[in-house]
A and B are shown apart, each in its own frame.
Chain A
């Protein structure tokens, strides 16, 4: 069942790339249908998951000589991210129903996205380091093709290459760390659950910190955190809207997910010893991302930098969860729960913001905020959704971002009071930058680079609005999500405090 969920999009992608003569409309609807079916499958997986612990598990030998197996399964950490992946890909499929002709044809675009969906789902389901790494790298390849093939602007190829090389080098560091774990384990294995049950590299020594460093750098590049984030803004600016949405909503989560799935449970001792480093990186990312975003004049670049800010909160919480001596378990579990919710929340909200940025580009050909003004007049629906997304993005209560950030702050304050107080300033700067952006784009005197024409088309509305509605649902009634996440977060906290 899980395997079917993971590989169904790949099968659809193969069908799409084989059938050359398919009319565009059929391609689009097939894409939407497969993405919808995926979301249904994930919903069934979630409904039939009886936690805590790993459910829907498959464990087959794959490369027995190297200790790598085809081991997949879900728990409270991966289910929300699988659901997020399916939701965001469905939104992108719906968004692409608009009927604009893509440069290299919708068929290949759809096939690429479906294949990319498999790599994302596979990564979040993987319980084997080699499998994880495989999907990690394939996602980089897929996103490279999306940006290089369908990006806009003259810089697209260059940005795509930068994205590819930067994150690929990061993934090599990750691989190095994985091999370190493999050689240190006894018997040698790449299996995540086995490694977490009996962590190698315990008891001091230089190898532990080095392996953690390699893994952390690899994941930090992908997340991205300060100072490894500079591939992100150009990649976003030049990526097509759907590509940006997937990049921000899903691919960035691979980094943060790696921390809770691999780094914390398998290297608990070193995580505790170096928790302060992660707290510091988190706080710097929060403030740096927010301030640099504040200085941007390009709407999409601004949203890209807010991702650095939002991912910083996650690192702050995960670092605080390693400060075992300074806070009780309930507070640390709250912080980790907040971090996982933040992954989902950021995916929904930033996905929506990037799709809306795509509308902006399509109507006016520019993301420069100073080129626009008073858009609430000609495009009231666009304005309403952008305003809602911006308020959700600045962590307004009632939306998912608040549930996440509130738990992160409240859970981290006891462990790292000064760092948390500094990070709190981040939500103030974020509020300022989003309100300023709203003012420049939507309010005031009317200004547009060229006549914008129609307000949001149905496909655009139906792709963005559900993402924000989900954010609202989580923000008001979060128990259905938290009931799944909390036990898993407690498990992570227990594993770290061993």
Chain B
């Protein structure tokens, strides 16, 4: 194994192995605890996990510089192949960095069953790193679904309650419904005639765009399905709302910065496939734009901070998906990276208040950011960045994407979505930073209580710095560098006039929303996430369960009864045959026997033992014989 490939393997295998061992060691005999009082304290787990995450970050930076590839045999035509190129370099470093910061934060916040928590987080990190570096469909799909499984396990982390477990199931099933698309894409890759691509790896991601016939359309449809599912785009968005029942560090890493983001990333990477299928670019662009708009409205109507942030995540990922469809790979990448910093920061802050104050209701949290400066200041930076306020990051990255929206209708939708993000971010700012009631003295917990100082403040500060400056990726001179790095040097950039206009728009919308935060409309349809989950239950879950019950009854009462009925029929036939045997065959046999016995008795009759009778019989017989001879002769 060469040096670079060893580097890449250790980048993904170190967190995978460490995470697997940690996760399974959690239930040890001595640390198992009881049902009501969880044990598994595993004091070393956070330290181990943070150390592993730190090494992983170092390896990720090294990999981003060295650009290694690695390859291992898997199935025919689809080896596990990983490579770091310009696009994945940015994402790998982002994921590793955010992962480390979130783990540092969680080291102070997670108290129970730590080995399982930190193990799963590391396992998840490994899966994301594989997803980001995969260059074959097999490697991609492998990591893609492992991300989903760790997401399930982390959402359901508080397994003693039913709601998180059900939420994890919802998340896994919804995203897996999308994952089926990747199986379709793989099938399309193998089904297409091998002619054009030669004898190479038919399951390579690069080969998808060059498929013959109708197959690239199927592949593109499958990829869109998978990406929309993971990125919580319409109509799959509802699972992200349920996923908020997981611990806040999980929301900060999985459901904003990494797993959800991978949906957008996949489309950025497979932009050539979308283009070769034609319609797929438009579908991605409009799907992303409409998600940004609709989920922006959903976010604006939320009453809980985490729900607002979740809807905002889906909306912001909509911009990334739009970027992939409209042809702004560099802009999409910059947005992805900057959003990772912004959103994990906001989720961590929300988690800190949730832990300290026992609520994430926006009204209950009024003034929380003002009272708790250590968390409140970074939160303000993140929220302003989310609003698109210059010079913070998402302002510049969003404009870069906007520059690629060519049709006026699309441009209008995106602009409206951008205004909505300013509005919902402004709402959060207005409520949390505005004046609020003093917390009741009976609460007795100081803000941020229970979470030790530097473990909390350092990650928040670093993420806030990222949220502030990462917009540079979408501004000259770095923007040009990024475009070259992701292999799209000709992509458009936003003009100065646009940037000023969006800046003014964002500032105005944010200020308006912050000022009138308590009075902003909260329509029921938006608060309920467009009733998407209800719809999914109506069209998919309930019919499936009904079909299951019907078929189970059919199985018992028709199929099984047919089989046992056949057996019973054979038994009836047997008893009928037995009866026929007794009354028919056996009676005939006995009848014959009786007849013979009667004949025998008849035959015994001449045997009288008296000589004269024998002579008489002999005479009769002889006479009869003579008559017979005469007659025959």
A residues adjacent to B (C-beta < 8 A): 162, 165-166, 227, 229-231, 288, 291-292, 294-296, 327-328, 330-331, 333-334, 337, 374, 376-378, 380-381, 383-384, 387, 391, 396-398, 402-403, 406-407, 409-415, 417, 420-421, 424-425, 427-429, 431-432, 435-436, 439, 442-446, 455, 477-479, 482, 486
Contact = CB atoms under 8 A, between A and B. Distances in A.
Interface of B: 24, 26-27, 29, 32, 34-35, 40, 72-78, 138, 141-146, 149, 152-153, 156, 159-162, 165-166, 168-169, 172-173, 176-177, 180, 183-184, 186-194, 202-203, 218, 544-545, 547-549, 551-552, 555, 559-560, 563-564, 567
B156 A165 contact: no
A166 B190 contact: no
B187 A413 contact: yes
Contacts of A381: 27
A294 B187 contact: no
A414 B176 contact: no
A432 to B, nearest CB: 5
Nearest to B182: A406
A439 B549 CA distance: 19
B141 A397 contact: yes
Given A328-B194, A427-B180, A409 B173 contact: no
B152 A380 contact: no
A328 B194 CA distance: 8
Given A295-B548, A446-B35, A406 B183 contact: yes
A442 B40 CA distance: 17
Q: Give the top 3 A-B pairs by smallest Cβ distance, nearest first.
A: A414-B191, A413-B187, A380-B27
Contacts, number: 174
Given A292-B551, A292-B555, A410-B190, 8 more contacts: A227-B559, A330-B77, A333-B76, A380-B40, A383-B27, A413-B190, A417-B191, A425-B180
Given A165-B567, A444-B165, A396 B145 contact: yes
B189 A435 contact: no
A409 B177 contact: no
Nearest to B169: A435
B69 to A, nearest CB: 18
Contact of A410 (B143, B177, B183, B567): B183
A447 B35 CA distance: 11
Contacts of B162: 439, 443-445
A443 B563 CA distance: 38
B176 A334 contact: no
B563 A231 contact: yes
B598 to A, nearest CB: 46
15 contacts: A162-B564, A227-B559, A291-B547, A331-B191, A374-B159, A383-B27, A397-B141, A397-B143, A407-B76, A409-B186, A411-B187, A412-B187, A413-B186, A414-B190, A443-B156
A444 B27 contact: no
Nearest to B564: A162
A310 to B, nearest CB: 16
A2 B552 CA distance: 44
B527 to A, nearest CB: 27
A425 B548 CA distance: 13
A424 B152 CA distance: 21
A407 to B, nearest CB: 5
A436 B170 CA distance: 10
Contact of B552 (A295, A431, A439): A295
Contact of A429 (B183, B188, B544, B559): B544
Contacts of A384: 24, 27
Contacts of A376: 159
Contacts of B202: 330
Contacts of A417: 187, 191, 218
B563 A486 contact: no
Name the residue in B153, B547, B548 with the highest tally of chain A Cβ atoms < 10 Å from its Cβ. Answer: B548
A374 B38 CA distance: 12
Contacts of A407: 75-76
A439 B564 CA distance: 34
A428 B148 CA distance: 13
B187 A414 contact: yes
**B-side interface mostly:** helix
Contacts of A420: 187
Given A435-B152, A443-B160, A334 B548 contact: no
Contacts of B203: 410
B525 to A, nearest CB: 27
A485 to B, nearest CB: 10
Contacts of B176: 427-428, 431
A444 B563 contact: no
A330 B172 CA distance: 32
A230 B551 CA distance: 13
Given A380-B32, A444-B165, A446-B35, A413 B173 contact: no
A162 B167 CA distance: 41
A334 B183 CA distance: 14
B189 A410 contact: yes
A412 to B, nearest CB: 7
B544 A331 contact: no
Contacts of B168: 435
Name the residue in A295, A415, A417, A479 with the highest tally of chain B Cβ atoms < 10 Å from its Cβ. Answer: A295
Contacts of A412: 187
A443 B548 CA distance: 23
Contacts of A396: 145-146, 149
Given A295-B549, A330-B77, A337-B76, A436 B169 contact: yes
A457 to B, nearest CB: 12
Name the residue in A162, A294, A380, A436 with the highest tally of chain B Cβ atoms < 10 Å from its Cβ. Answer: A380
Contacts of B27: 380-381, 383-384
A374 B35 contact: yes
A294 B548 contact: yes
B76 A409 contact: no
Contacts of A443: 156, 159-160, 162, 165
A374 B168 CA distance: 16
A429 B166 CA distance: 15
Contacts of A327: 191
Contacts of B145: 396-397, 402
Contacts of B40: 380
Name the residue in A377, A384, A479 with the highest tally of chain B Cβ atoms < 10 Å from its Cβ. Answer: A377
Contacts of B563: 162, 166, 230-231
Name the residue in B32, B186, B547, B551 with the highest tally of chain A Cβ atoms < 10 Å from its Cβ. Answer: B551
Nearest to B181: A424
Contact of B186 (A406, A439, A482): A406
B146 A397 contact: yes
Contacts of A406: 75, 138, 141, 183, 186
A18 to B, nearest CB: 37
Contacts of B72: 477
B89 to A, nearest CB: 24
A162 B143 CA distance: 44
A432 B169 contact: yes
A410 B187 contact: yes
Contacts of A380: 26-27, 32, 40
Contacts of A442: 159
Given A292-B555, A328-B194, A442-B159, A482 B75 contact: yes
Nearest to B188: A413
Contact of B184 (A328, A421, A478): A421
Contacts of A162: 563-564, 567
Nearest to A413: B187
Given A328-B193, A383-B27, A424 B552 contact: no
A229 B554 CA distance: 13
B76 A230 contact: no
A296 B548 CA distance: 9
Given A291-B544, A439-B169, A330 B75 contact: no
A407 B78 CA distance: 10
Contacts of B551: 288, 291-292, 295
B74 A377 contact: no
Nearest to A227: B559
